[in-house]
Amino acid sequence: MNISIAQQLKSSTKAILLFVLLTISSTISFAQATMPAATDVASQELGITFWFYVLLLIAAVFAFAVINKTLKVLELTQELNGKKIKNTYNKVNGVFFIFFLVLFLGYVYYEFTTHGRMGLPESASEHGVITDNLFNITALITGIVFIITHILLFYFSFKYKGKEKRTAFFYPHNDKLELYWTIIPAIVLAVMVLSGWKAWTNITAPAPKEALTIDVTGKQFAWIVRYPGNDNTLGSRAFKLVNDVNETGVDFNDKNAKDDLFVNEIYLPVNRPVKFNFNARDVIHSAYMPHFRAQMNCVPGMPTTFWFRPTITTEQMRLKTNDPKFDYVLLCAKVCGSAHYNMQVKIVVVNDTEYATWLATKKPFYTEEMAKQIQEAEASVAKAKEEKLALNTHE
């Protein structure tokens, strides 16, 4: 039983109307829930842009509705005049397939040439070059298959559209063809998977002994960064020592901790391996350094690590990107709360001389005054625990 194009358009119109209503309601709810306080001008511009697309969708729905009614009237007129309605819809649908194929390929080209250029610049780490190559090869292979399959899909829908005298050709199977389309993709996928596994194995291998070790702790909503002092060894930590002053629970009874440094910016020496120890105080965070192609979850109670070798200084990257204000950055890639967007730390990659100069300007966190503050904070925590215990005993 053939379904007329009017009936198809009628059902499509209902579906589009439902889609429009769902899109409007969900978009408004999402905007209200996630949009931070903005200026009046910015809010007005956002509102104008939003309602423009809403009106555009409504206009498209009305256009479909008008076409639907027009075709319905045309069918009824032909039936009243006793004319036989020719089934030309398969031909029309076939032409639509070709039209949408051209439109689709044009949109794919637009996305690659426009938004495809908005990606990250070249990787600034040694392993990042490998991951970028893997990504580009994967995108190339899947992209070629994607384009070819869609061209064939739309073209065959046009070429073999339904006709009154056309019958389907019975072709149950072809063992040789099935072997080809099974073995070839299997080999390609196996090579891609093994290449990815090899790269991941090298990336997650233990850091070299000469690597600079940096401790990074995530909390709502900031990063706490700790460097080793002159001994090049970080002091130990314990979660029971965490308080308002000693935010990461460093054990300052450990001699290696007494010269540790706490900094507001991360400085890295170029071409030297850097190992990050990641921790979290409250919820799961995710340390993300996009320009170094590095990301690792920070889980409370479960330390994680990631190391890489930066290869491009900040000044060199500014020249490469033609952006004098460019900076590397450490972000949080988990939605860890309402002020999640504040979790940013500037990263500066410099040569060895500049790094040594910067390091010389930093003073150890642990001083006599700081020791007193830590003791007071520990005493306050102990007192609070005693009061809580006494209260529970009394109850």
- Asked if residue 172 belongs to a domain, the reply is no
Q: Which structural domain, as residue segments, surrounds residue 265?
A: 212-382
Q: Which of 6-15, 85-94, 258-267, 323-332 bottoms out in mean pLDDT, i.e. has the lowest?
A: 6-15
Domain count, the chain: 2
Q: Tens digits of per-residue pLDDT, 34-78?
A: 444 444 555 556 556 777 888 888 888 888 888 878 877 777 787
End-of-domain residue from the set 30, 55, 87: 87
CB 321 within 8 A of CB 119: no
In the listed set 46, 72, 87, which residue is the last one of a domain according to the structure? 87
pLDDT per residue as tens digits for the range 382-395? 777 666 666 565 55
Is residue 75 located within the same domain as residue 223? no
Q: Which among 304, 307, 284, 282 is positioned nearest to 294, based on CA atoms? A: 307
Q: Among 346, 351, 235, 238, which residue's Cα sits nearest to residue 289?
A: 346
Whether 129 is covered by a domain: the verdict is no
Residue 223 lies in a domain: yes
Residue 125 domain-assigned?
A: no
User: For residue 106, is it within any domain?
Assistant: no
Query: Which of 55, 87, 119 is a domain's end point?
Result: 87
Q: Is the pLDDT of residue 149 over 60?
A: yes
Identify the residue whose tokens are 């500049």: 354
Across the chain, mean pLDDT equals: 84
376 in a structural domain: yes
Q: Give the pLDDT score at 136.
A: 92
Residues 81 and 220 in one domain: no
Same domain, 232 and 372: yes
Which tops the pLDDT comparison, 162 or 334? Answer: 334
% of the chain exceeding 70 in pLDDT? 83
b/e per residue, 333-348, with b = 16+ CB within 10 A? bbebeeeeeebebebb
Q: Is residue 318 part of a domain?
A: yes
Contacts 24+ apart (CB under 8 A), 22-26: 23/57, 24/54
pLDDT of amino acid 58: 87
| Cα-based distances in Å from 185 to 31, 34, 148, 196, 197 | 43, 42, 14, 16, 18
CATH of the domain at 334: 2.60.40.420
